[in-house]
Amino acid sequence: MPSLQHIRRKITSVKSTQKITKAMKMVAAAKLKRAQDRILSARPYAQKMAAVLKSLARGVNRDLHPLLRRRAGRKIELLVITADRGLCGAFNANILRRAQEFIRERREAGFEVGISVVGRKARDFFRRRETAARQTWVQIFDRLNYAHGAEIGRDIIGRYTDGTFDELYLLYNEFKSVMQQRITIEKLLPIEPPEAGETATGGCLYEPDELTVLSRLLPNYIEIQVFRALLESAAGELGSRMTAMDAATRNAGEMIRKMTLVYNKTRQAVITKELMDIVGGAEAMRGS
Amino acid sequence: MAGTIQLDIVTPERLLVSEAVDEVIAPGSEGEFGVLPGHCRFLTTLRIGELRYRQGEQWKRLSVSWGFAEVEPRRITVLADIAERAEEIDLPRAEAAAKTAELQIAAASKHEEMEAARAQLEKALLRLKVGKRR
């Protein structure tokens, strides 16, 4: 049977761990609110952008602009977005597993697959694998703003235009709710204009001209898509961490409860034993 | 034509304006243009400049930097990379930015550096101009 002191020490240790997990949960919850608000405020721009693109892409020849043109090449790039930190449940592991699946599938289908990563977890993961990341961005989630989306967007557009790859996919955790993240793979390049639903009104004027407007709009579209994915991932990470830390706090509570029970039982046993000793001693004295 | 236009100004970070207005004057890349209700559809890129809109007799001003405007008869949507209301502009910061940009122009050796600094200067000067008129 473990000694009383031993159990006491263990309880204290679990209690301090619980304090930490609890604090992490609170911090994640507080940050999550802000992250959610940011997604909401970025949404109008993304939606309007998609709407404008939709009305513009109607009747536009896809070969007109390099970002719209489909290419026959077999080189694929996967942009993987994970978190910088761990301790957020299966958040990173899920993404990385999906990334490997994707890479394997495409390689078997005869494609050449390269990767770029956002987030320290993905960087470290692929550093230990044979596939070296072409480009990495780390530690951007603490001060995430549109400039990051723009920077990544410019980089991938540059690489796409110079022929480093022919298709680009984006892999990230979409924020569905606090408890749920959905792993999402989206094809980013070449741009697939959203399906035009309503009928064309026509007679639209372009200033300066169609091509100029397109070449300004398409890069922006990529940037906002990347930025949105970053925001989604950031919120998803916080949600996932909150859930994970909540579970950890509850588990710690359960452990403390069980150990306290053992502690009290042991304490009682010790007292009983001492009593028995005393009684036994007294009996022996009287007997003599 | 009577009535109002729905004006939406959005940036990647937020929805800045969503109001019914009577008239909008925006800095198009080919020159400033005015929009009244019933304008024909058109799509244009914007340059760095001042965007004004009128509600009744009152004019409001914003600084916008790059982006697009999509005009429809009853709606105008401005997608700006950066946009700020005149009231929000931090004048001392804009002034400091203008000074830095001027120094950069003086020190620039390469053409691209020069261009980048010029764009910065233009942006800062615009913010000063719009901010002072509040």
pLDDT in tens, A28-86: 999 999 999 888 888 888 888 887 787 777 667 777 788 888 888 889 999 999 999 88
Under 8 Å between Cβ of A238 and A89: no
Q: Distance between CA atoms of A219 and A121, rounded to whole angstroms?
A: 28
The pair of structure tokens assigned to A195 is 């399906």
Q: What is the pLDDT of residues B53-82, one digit of tens each?
A: 998 888 888 888 888 888 888 889 898 888
With b for 16 or more beta-carbon neighbours within 10 A and e for fewer, the A260-285 pattern comes to eeebeebeeeeeeeeeeeeeeeeeee
Note the pLDDT of residue A272: 94
Peptide bond into A208 cis (omega under 30): yes
Taking the model in full, what pTM does it have?
0.83
- Cβ-based interface (< 8 Å): residues of B facing A: 8, 10-15, 28-30, 40-45, 67-68, 70, 77, 79, 81
Angle of helix A120-127 versus helix A91-108 axis, rounded to 10: 50
pLDDT at B27 over 60: yes
pLDDT value, residue A190: 85
CB contact under 8 A, B15 and A45: yes
Tokens, residue A148: 């990051």
How much is the pLDDT for A199? Answer: 44
B70 vs A52: CB contact, 8 Å cut-off? Answer: yes
Low-confidence residues of chain A: pLDDT under 50: 199-201
Contact A73, A190 (CB under 8 A): no
**Has the ipTM of the complex gone over 0.95?**
no
**What one-letter code names the amino acid at A99?**
A
Chain B nearest C-alpha distance from A41 (Å): 4
Question: What's the confidence (pLDDT) of residue B13?
Answer: 82
State the count of interchain CB pairs (< 8 A) between A and B.
Answer: 76
How many CB atoms lie under 10 A from the CB of residue A58?
Answer: 15
Spatial separation of the C-alpha atoms in residues B50 and B42, rounded to whole Å: 19
- pLDDT over 70 at B15, yes or no: yes
> Closest to B11 (Cβ–Cβ): which among A45, A206, A223?
A45
CA distances from A106 to A79, A111, A166 (A): 14, 5, 13
- Taking the CA of residue A230 and the nearest CA in chain B, the distance in Å comes to 13
